[in-house]
Amino acid sequence: MPELPEVEVTRQQLQQYVAGSVIEHVEVAEPKILDSPEMLQRLSEISNIHITSCERRGKLLLIHLENTDILAIHRRMAGNLTLLARNVPNELYTRAVFYLLAPNGAEQKLLYSDPRKFGRIGVYHPGELTQKLALLGPEPLQDDFTDAALKHAIGTANRPIKTILLDQSKIAGIGNIYADESLFIAGIHPERYSHSLTDIEIHTLRMAIATTLTSALKHAGTTFGRHKDLFGSAGRNLDYLQVYQRDGLPCKICGNVIQRIRVAQRSTRFCPECQK
């Protein structure tokens, strides 16, 4: 699933290459990807509307329109967005097409493709997303994500720390990849009970989260399966991962074998020496 870095890379590209364009019309080939049946009608109502800006909240893309509506796209497990010239054939598994007229007059199309059809698209009027977005935890790369904010997110829960990192109501945007990577950098075992972390460990973990996400952004995200950017390029962060998908291989720090266990029904990788 695309996590914060992958979604942020797409957001930056949408802001640079799509903001300012006019949505001439929308075609939906698979209604299952819509948030609700009424979204088909709402998508038909955003024809000839300018895109003003592109935002991200957690793993959710928020495309702001000139009529104050918000086009929300959640790629979930395997969704991708691709920007193409209109004369280029659609990708396999294309579920929706946004036909765009760029500010320079170029006729383009923004494809949403998704083989598993788990992603969701919706158009929301002002205020309709407020409650949904309020359920998300703080953004881990913003200045207000302090030691105190992480300590508050952890709270007194008697849960493995990895489950806290995966809980979008606690911290927004972190998934399986960057939870494992952050815990490795912090030297914290993924099954460690969250309430047992000291203030020093909380600080170390917060810094590790920032380091992990910033590095992934620098390398355009991590691609294992379908994730690609707006122009079909894969992320380069795979070569920089320390533990994720490296079970059975030697730890890059100490040489011990990376192990895999299950935490919160998710495959979890860690180094038994570096994360005792």
Residues known to be catalytic? 2-3, 59, 266
Distance CA 235, CA 12 (A): 14
Angle at 178 (CA atoms; ends 175, 181), nearest 5 degrees: 145
Q: Phi and psi dihedrals of 121, rounded to 5?
A: -130, 140
Q: Tokens 């893309």 — which residue?
A: 61
d(CA 151, CA 138): 12
C-alpha of 227 from chain center: 10
Within 8 A by CB and 6+ apart from 158, the residues are 193, 194, 195
- Residue given tokens 């959640």 in the structure block: 74
Q: Closest Cα partner for 149 from 130, 167, 134, 170?
A: 170
**Cα dist from 111 to 168, 229, 239, whole Å:** 27, 12, 28
